[in-house]
């Protein structure tokens, strides 16, 4: 009976080498306070900012990835801001002419993407003293604003995850929410089905995880609906999310644009992007997650669920493709399904256990492809595969070398196994009869007998084929 409306504002710290308007190092992991600072980002009198080209290019890349319109002309504006975490007393941002406008992601229209500078961080000690650290002050901050096209908490999370993936693929930000590299604000309103226009919106700030985004939106929709049901009005305000209590809390009434008194930044020249080689930036974009997802399904026969996991992280996807090409070099036209299964279930599972990433793994894509080929050829029994993979991860050795060292033999020779199969058929007439009547589990039993007889060294697929052959003749 109520229709929810949600629009997102997402801030992203860009992974540039230096800050937005000075030469200070941009290092989100610096723990010593006020280390990466200089007269410019500390706002000493008489200093002048300069623009970081790498940051501007990063935003242009994001614009191309979202199929947005890249501005021909853009400029920076001053936004009045009086808190001690920005020493200038204003923030350099973009208001009238953002770098990027329009575009679309997950069916949600993008309003704009612009560039500004991050604030420093405030800390408070036990005596009530406030301490400020300017390491983060002046770090390039990208802001993306969506149209109010989202209707459920799940859609908001899906949008955020898709954006995070793109940012990582482009290499413009690590976009870790827990570290504040990607910060989501959700604008939320509800309206009666029969009503006209949107309801009054509330902005919820400081959402530092996707769980928080989902929880805060769900809570806020319910709170607003209940208020309207009681005949109250929703107050336009900024609220914060209390992770412990799982509620939103009123923080302050919302500023409007005139409170910020924007005006063009007089210390920076306007940007003429028609003079930039934008085509080159566009051509250098990597294949994006969405495209990769569809290609993996079409090219390698992945299921949608498999393609989803494979494309979540670019290095996971790249490793997969390298392994597939090594594998197909060994075995032309072979199906990738064994490789996909061992990659997703065994290799990635093993790395998770070891708490390392795919790039830190000692197993090269070539060794992994070789490992899968050994399984496909019946030289490595699947029940021994897990253990061999562990050894490969520990030593970085080639699977064939490790297999030889272990001395475990696989009996795949049909003539040797045929004798065993005939013997088993002789001793289990009842099971054989069951099998001939169509009881498929009987075959499983017979193969099991063959494995036991060979102390686990027979190739079960050869055994299975022999039983099938001898029992249908």
Percent of the chain that is helix, strand, coil (3-state, to 5)? 45, 20, 35
Question: With 0-12 CB in 10 A as exposed, 13-18 as middle and 19+ as buried, what is 332?
Answer: exposed
- Contacting ligand ADP (CB under 6 A), which of 187, 306, 361, 454? 187
- Footprint of Zn ion on 242-261 (CB under 5 A): none
Q: What contacts 258, CB < 8 A, 6 or more positions away?
A: none
Of 217, 202, 206, 201, the residue nearest 159 (C-alpha): 217
Among ligand ADP, Zn ion, none, the one that 9 touches (CB under a kind-dependent 5 to 8 A) is ligand ADP
Q: Which residue, 40 or 339, is less far from Zn ion as judged by CB?
A: 40
CB of 44 to Zn ion, least distance (A): 10
Q: Does 201 bind ligand ADP (CB under 6 A)?
A: yes
> How buried is 270 (Cβ within 10 angstroms: 0-12 exposed, 13-18 middle, 19+ buried)?
exposed
CA distance to 22, 136, 139, 280, per residue, from 50 (Å): 6, 17, 13, 23
For 27, counting Cβ atoms within 10 Å of its Cβ (0-12 exposed, 13-18 middle, 19+ buried), the class is middle
Q: Alpha helix (H) ranges present in 173-253? A: 210-229
Q: Which stretch binds ligand ADP (CB under 6 A): 51-59, 136-144, 197-205, 222-230?
A: 197-205
Q: From the list 74, 189, 248, 311, which residue makes contact with ligand ADP (rule: CB under 6 A)?
A: 189
Choose the contact partner of 147 out of Zn ion, ligand ADP, none; CB within 5 to 8 A by kind.
ligand ADP
Q: How far is the CB of 39 from Zn ion (least distance, A)?
A: 7
- Binding of ligand ADP by 94 (CB under 6 A): no
In the list Zn ion, ligand ADP, none, the entry touching 145 (Cβ below 5 to 8 angstroms by class) is ligand ADP
Check binding of 385 to Zn ion (CB under 5 A): no
Q: Where do we find the tokens 């064939």?
A: 400
Residue 6 binds ligand ADP, judged by CB under 6 A: yes
State yes or no: residue 145 binds ligand ADP (CB under 6 A): yes
Q: Which is nearer to ligand ADP, 54 or 147 (CB)?
A: 147
**By CB under 5 A, is residue 447 in contact with Zn ion?**
no
Q: Does 9 bind ligand ADP (CB under 6 A)?
A: yes
Query: Does position 7 bind ligand ADP by CB under 6 A?
Result: yes
x-marked contacts with Zn ion along 15-34 as a string, rule CB under 5 A: -------x-x----------
What is the rounded CA–CA span in Å between residue 297 and residue 9? Answer: 32
> Judged by CB under 6 A, does residue 160 bind ligand ADP?
no
Residue closer to ligand ADP by CB (options 210, 300) is: 210
Give yes or no for a contact between 42 and 26, defined as CB atoms under 8 angstroms apart.
no
3 state DSSP class of 253: strand
Please report how close the Cβ of residue 180 comes to Zn ion at its closest, in angstroms.
19
Contact residue for ligand ADP among 119, 146, 306, 361 (CB under 6 A)? 146
Least distance CB 211 / ligand ADP (angstroms): 21
Positions touching ligand ADP (CB under 6 A) are: 5-9, 145-148, 187-189, 198-199, 201
């Amino acid at each position: 009976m109520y229709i929810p409306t949600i629009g997102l504002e997402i801030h992203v710290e860009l992974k540039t080498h230096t800050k937005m308007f000075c030469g200070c190092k941009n290092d989100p992991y610096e723990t010593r306070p006020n280390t990466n600072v200089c007269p410019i980002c500390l706002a000493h009198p008489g200093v002048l900012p300069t623009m970081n080209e790498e940051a501007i290019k990063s935003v242009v890349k994001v614009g191309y990835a979202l199929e947005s319109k890249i501005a021909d002309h853009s400029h920076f504006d001053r936004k009045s801001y009086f808190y001690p975490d920005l020493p200038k007393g204003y923030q350099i941002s973009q208001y009238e002419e953002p770098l990027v406008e329009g575009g679309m992601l997950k069916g949600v229209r993008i309003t704009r993407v612009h560039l500004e500078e991050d604030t420093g961080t405030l800390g408070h000690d036990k005596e009530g003293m406030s301490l400020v650290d300017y390491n983060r002050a002046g770090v390039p901050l990208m802001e993306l604003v969506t149209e109010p096209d989202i209707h459920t908490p799940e859609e908001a999370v899906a949008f955020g995850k898709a954006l995070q993936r793109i940012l990582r693929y482009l290499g413009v930000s690590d976009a870790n929410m827990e570290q504040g590299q990607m910060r989501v604000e959700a604008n939320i309103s509800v309206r009666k089905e029969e009503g006209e226009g949107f309801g009054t919106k509330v902005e919820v700030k400081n959402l530092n995880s996707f769980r928080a985004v989902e929880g805060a939106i769900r809570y806020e929709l319910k709170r607003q609906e209940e208020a309207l049901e009681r005949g109250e009005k929703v107050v336009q305000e900024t609220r914060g999310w209390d992770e412990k209590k799982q509620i939103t809390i009123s923080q302050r009434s919302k500023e409007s644009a005139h409170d910020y008194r924007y005006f063009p930044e007089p210390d920076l020249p306007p940007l003429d992007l028609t003079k930039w080689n934008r085509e080159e930036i566009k051509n250098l974009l990597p294949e994006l997650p969405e495209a990769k997802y569809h290609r993996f399904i079409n090219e390698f026969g992945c299921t949608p669920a498999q393609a989803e996991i494979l494309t979540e992280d670019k290095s996971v996807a790249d490793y997969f493709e390298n392994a597939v090409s090594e594998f197909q070099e060994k075995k032309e036209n072979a199906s990738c399904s064994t490789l996909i299964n061992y990659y997703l279930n065994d290799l990635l599972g093993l790395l998770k256990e070891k708490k390392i990433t795919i790039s830190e793994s000692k197993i090269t894509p070539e060794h992994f492809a070789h490992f899968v080929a050994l399984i496909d050829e019946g030289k490595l029994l699947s029940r021994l595969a897990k253990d061999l993979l562990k050894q490969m991860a520990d030593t970085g050795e080639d699977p064939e070398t490790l297999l030889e060292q272990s001395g475990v033999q696989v009996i795949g020779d049909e003539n040797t196994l045929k004798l065993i199969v005939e013997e088993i058929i002789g001793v289990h007439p009842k099971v054989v009869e069951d099998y001939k009547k169509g009881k498929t589990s009987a075959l499983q039993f017979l193969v099991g007998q063959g494995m036991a007889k060979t102390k686990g060294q027979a190739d079960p697929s050869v055994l299975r084929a022999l039983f099938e052959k001898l029992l249908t003749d």
